Amino acid sequence: MNEPKQDRIYASERPLQDFVFDEKVADVFTDMINRSVPGYATIISMIGMLADRYCTPGSAAYDLGCSLGGAALAMTHHISHKDSQLEIAQKRSALENVLIPETIADHKARIQEAGFSSCDTWFQCFNFASMVAFK
């Protein structure tokens, strides 16, 4: 697969004009969207995971405003590669006593007990979160 062309459309001074989705933009759109939409790759990946969890045989899944069609591809990939019930049960059993969910409030309390003065969740995807704390 070819590397996407780098978006340099607005890198140099040019007359002010409204954005137009033309051939120049289409040519570099993969790079443009990845750099312009924070978390774009994560969003696309999570859409696939949601499809895996909620789509059942006969479900209709739509990628509205599809730009690159990435969400549709992610949904198709995840739906067609579902784990078997045995595999899911074994993964659940293996993690059951190890991966114990806690609330963000629990994490923040433990961080404050460790001497940090402030703590914020800066990213969350489903029940996984990334926090930043300052002493």
Average pLDDT value over all residues in the chain: 83
- Classify residue 95: in a domain, yes or no: yes
Residue 130 placed within a domain:
yes
Is residue 127 situated within a structural domain?
yes
| Residue-number span of the structural domain to which 103 is assigned | 84-135
Q: Is residue 65 part of a domain?
A: no
pLDDT at 115 over 90: yes
pLDDT reported for residue 106: 92
Looking at the 3D structure of the chain, how many domains does it have? 1
Structural domain contains residue 66: no
Q: How far, in Å, CA of 69 to CA of 40, rounded?
A: 12
pLDDT over 90, % of the chain: 12
Q: What are phi and psi of 16, to 5 degrees?
A: -65, 125
> What is the tens place of the pLDDT at every residue in 20-69?
888 888 888 888 888 888 888 998 898 898 888 888 888 888 787 667 88
pLDDT, position 105: 93
Measure the CA–CA gap between 119 and 121, rounded to whole angstroms. 7
Band of the pLDDT at 82, cuts 50, 70, 90?
Answer: low
Calpha distance 53→49 (Å, rounded)? 6
- Is residue 11 in some structural domain? no
Task: Tell me how far CA of residue 44 lies from CA of 7, 36, 47, 85, in angstroms.
Answer: 20, 14, 5, 25
Q: In the predicted model, what is the mean pLDDT of residues 97-125?
A: 87
Residue 92 has pLDDT above 80, yes or no: no
Flag whether pLDDT at 95 surpasses 80. no
Does a structural domain hold residue 52?
no
Is 97 part of a structural domain of the chain? yes
